Amino acid sequence: MLDNKKLLILLVTVALVGVLSLFLYSSTIKPTEMAISGIDEGMVGKMVKTSGTVTYARTLGDGSLSLMLTEMLADSGIRVYIPSRVSEDLTGVIITPGVEIEVVGEVELYADEVEISVTSAEGVTVLSGSVSPDYELWQVLESVEVLEHMNLTTEGIAYDVDVIESSGNLIGTSFVITSRHQNASYSLDCMYFDADLSPAIEDGDLVKVTGVLEFYMNKGCWQLILNDIEVED
């Protein structure tokens, strides 16, 4: 039978081995910090930490969240899934398009697409509040899939200003903005609901517009749903 001294040494040794094992285990699951553009299928099963701007946010039926996190300068995005057991612990955290966040989670492959699955509420950090970033019109139209559902600001020359009514009721004002970049012409449909803008703008005016970029299925084109407009001198 072991005497007290040997038993104490054995217990201390076991404890040290346990602590060392936990340390080694925790070091193996420490998230790798990297840019969104560097996350691919080769990272599946690994923990990562990354940050970007939320360009899409949707709450699913079970309370979970589906986001698109975008690295704006690299024109690269990745889907982020926050299960309901995690989202319900995000007390006071409001995630909407335009918010810049940092996430920590496991890289997974869902429906043949790489996504990050957040495993705890501590894995979501809001870095800055919602903003309406400014873009040149050509940048918007060459990055529509990344910027979809996002509130943004751009400018161009207004044409085809049209006040739309239905059965005598005002629907809103539609027009097209255009601009040129490197000898190419770019144009984008704009719609401002519940307002007659004809007294304020006319064809040929330079306008600065802010709104949410959406795909207008009926017309088969991209459209900016406006919430602000400024006629520039």
Domains and CATH numbers, the chain: 32-128 (2.40.50.140), 137-232 (2.40.50.140)
**What DSSP element (H or E) covers 205?**
none
The pLDDT of residue 3 is 62
Give the pLDDT of residue 218. 85
| CB crowding 203-232: b at 16 or more within 10 Å, else e | eebebebbbbbeeeeeeeebbbbbeebeee
DSSP readout, 32-59?
Answer: EE--GGG--GGGTT-EEEEEEEEEEEEE
- Tell me the average pLDDT of the chain: 86
Beta-carbon contacts of residue 68 (< 8 Å; ≥ 6 apart): 54, 55, 56, 57, 77, 78, 79, 80, 146, 149
pLDDT at 191: 96
* pTM score, whole prediction: 0.56
Across residues 10-23, what is the average pLDDT?
Answer: 58
Q: What is the pLDDT of residues 35-85, one digit of tens each?
A: 999 999 999 999 999 999 888 888 888 989 999 898 877 778 899 999 999
Q: CB–CB of 87/80 below 8 Å? A: no
pLDDT in tens, 90-124: 887 778 777 889 999 999 999 889 999 999 999 99
pLDDT of residue 180: 94
For the cut 70, the answer to whether the pLDDT of residue 206 exceeds it is: yes
Confidence of residue 12 (pLDDT cuts 50, 70, 90): low
pLDDT (0 to 100) of residue 152: 87
- Map residue 220 onto helix, strand or coil: coil
The 3-class secondary structure across 93-153, one letter per residue, is: CCCCCCCEEEEEEEEEEECCEEEEEECCHHHEEEEECCCCCECCHHHHHCCHHHHCCCEEE
* Percentage above 70 pLDDT, the chain: 86
